[in-house]
Amino acid sequence: MWVDEKTGVLLKLITTDKGGNVKNSIEVLNINFETNLAKTTSRMFDTDDTKGYKELKLDDKKPSDKKHKK
């Protein structure tokens, strides 16, 4: 994993299996922090693609905790 020291932005990630074979990789090819944020925040973002979905709650109980609650 390669992360920029100043921003914490992920620049490159390579995952491998137990045999050392590359299974996934992500690499940032271009990034710009010098953009004008005011232009972005003045626009309304379209969230129509999320309508009809419901938020699911994460079940954070350990399997051993569930066995004792019968």
Query: How does pLDDT run along the chain (70 residues), one tens digit per residue?
Result: 999 888 888 999 999 999 999 999 999 998 877 766 655 555 566 667 777 777 778 777 777 665 655 5
Q: Which among 8, 48, 55 is positioned nearest to 28, based on CA atoms?
A: 8
pLDDT at 67: 60
Cα(63)–Cα(70) distance, rounded to whole angstroms? 13
Under a CB-based contact definition with an 8 Å cutoff, are residues 1 and 10 in contact?
A: yes
Per the structure block, which two tokens stand in for 67?
Answer: 């066995």
Type of residue found at 14: I
CA triple 42-44-49, angle to 5 deg: 155
